[in-house]
A and B are shown apart, each in its own frame.
Chain A
């Protein structure tokens, strides 16, 4: 079946450092979604990417969708302690979640 892998599994950074998580699908995707889950919480939708090569920004967050529509990345510039959580990419339509990257930010 379809698999969605993310690397790294964990990332510890000092506040102010940048962070990137990479998402790779075993199949070509029509779109990809990104979610953030705080400890003890539920996933919260961040963004959806649809077009090949698409780049979208949300303040310090930059999302990219690969040209082949099989991979995606999320980059956070100058991390803050509020960025702590697990970031998941998810493939349609039933939302197959990636393995997730847990981000810890030290002040």
Chain B
């Protein structure tokens, strides 16, 4: 069964709307989760590392005020795209570390389309 649940699967909304994406670890407690963004026909680009109980660590070039990350519990991290614009349209995927030397488990992704 699924290890990571991501919701919603897809979102279509108007420009200027804020969109929240949830990532839940189902099988174990996750102190660290990762958020990726993937544009069509491109690779996954790491946006930020979500740390339970502390501030997220953002990769270079990712606006922390634009992409708000909250990791308030060991099973839930949320990514909020604030005041989304068409250029934010992308496939957003979260992942959870499986433990020592274990692979990451990915959510099914959220396809975000901003009109």
Q: A residues touching B (Cβ–Cβ < 8 Å)?
A: 1, 31, 33, 41-45, 48, 50, 88, 94-100, 102
A45–B44 touching, CB < 8 Å: no
Q: Is the CB of A95 within 8 A of B43?
A: no
Q: Which 8 A-B pairs have the closest CB atoms?
A: A45-B103, A42-B106, A97-B44, A97-B43, A100-B43, A42-B109, A99-B43, A43-B106
Can you give 8 A-B contacts (C-beta < 8 A)?
Answer: A1-B60, A41-B108, A42-B93, A42-B108, A88-B43, A88-B44, A94-B46, A102-B41
Q: Inside 8 A of B44's CB, which chain A residues have their CB?
A: 43, 88, 97
Assuming the A-B contacts A1-B60, A48-B101, are A98 and B43 also in contact, with contact meaning beta carbons closer than 8 angstroms in the complex?
yes
Q: Which residues of A contact B36 (CB under 8 A)?
A: 97
Which chain B residues numbered 70 to 113 have a C-beta less than 8 Å away from chain A?
93, 95, 101, 103-109
Distance in angstroms between the alpha carbons of A107 and B44 in the assembled complex: 29
* A98 CB contacts on chain B under 8 angstroms: 43
The interface centre, meaning the residue of A33, A43, A88, A99 with most chain B CB atoms within 10 A of its CB, is A43
Residues on B with beta carbons closer than 8 Å to the beta carbon of A48 = 101, 103
Cα(A44)–Cα(B109), bound, Å: 12
Q: How far is the CB of B89 from chain A (nearest CB, A)?
A: 15
Contacts of A96 in B (CB 8 A): 46
List chain B residues, Cβ under 8 A from A97: 36, 43-46
Q: Give 1 or 0 for each of B39-56: 1 = CB within 8 Å of chain A CB.
A: 001111110010000000
Contact at B93–A95, with CB atoms within 8 Å? no
Partner of A95, one of B41, B60, B95: B95
Asked if B67 is an interface residue, CB under 8 A from chain A, the answer is no
A1 to chain B, nearest CB (A): 7
Expressed in whole angstroms, the minimum distance between the Cβ of B33 and any Cβ of chain A is 11
Residues on the A chain within 8 Å of B60, using CB: 1
Bound-state Cα–Cα, A41 to B108, Å: 7
On chain B, the residues within 8 Å of A95 by CB distance are 34, 46, 95, 104
Q: Which residue of B lies closest to A95 (CB)?
A: B104
Instruction: Using known A-B contacts A1-B60, A94-B49, A95-B34, determine if residue A45 contacts B43 with beta carbons closer than 8 Å.
Output: no
